[in-house]
Structure 1
């Protein structure tokens, strides 16, 4: 599975693999990864705005 597919699954842009085993810890890990990706994108947007102004 590629990196872009994983990011799409984390951000709910793509359906998750139905054959993947279900685990509570994996759900927590994906939630934290989703949050970190969104915060990173927000920080990059803020940085770009500050550099352009």
Structure 2
């Protein structure tokens, strides 16, 4: 196994992890979108950011 594949395998997050990356990317301009879908993705973005901030705060508070 080459070094590149080892690194790629280490950072492989699977389908669930890829959602967190995909939700912050711009959608396909050819795909039809509506207001409800945009709001849902916006709320998901806010939720992910707040969750990550809470985890970071908890780790800092726990170890410092």
Shorter-chain TM-score: which interval? 0.7 to 0.9
CA distance in structure 1 between the partners assigned to 2:31 and 2:20 by the alignment: 16
May I ask how many residue pairs the two structures share in their alignment? 50
State the Cα RMSD in Å.
Answer: 1.8
For structure 1, list consecutive stretches of 5 or more residues without a partner in the other structure.
Answer: none
Higher gyration radius (CA): 2
Given candidates 18, 25, 31, the residue that maps to 2:42 is 31
- After superposition, give the CA deviation of every residue in 1:11-51 in whole Å (9 maximum; x if it has no partner): 23xx4345533111000000000000000000000000011
**What residue is the counterpart of 2:20 in the other structure?**
7
> Does 1 or 2 have the higher relative contact order (CA < 8 Å, sep 6+)?
2
Distance change in 2, residues 1:19/1:5 (3 Å): farther
TM-score in terms of structure 1 length: 0.74
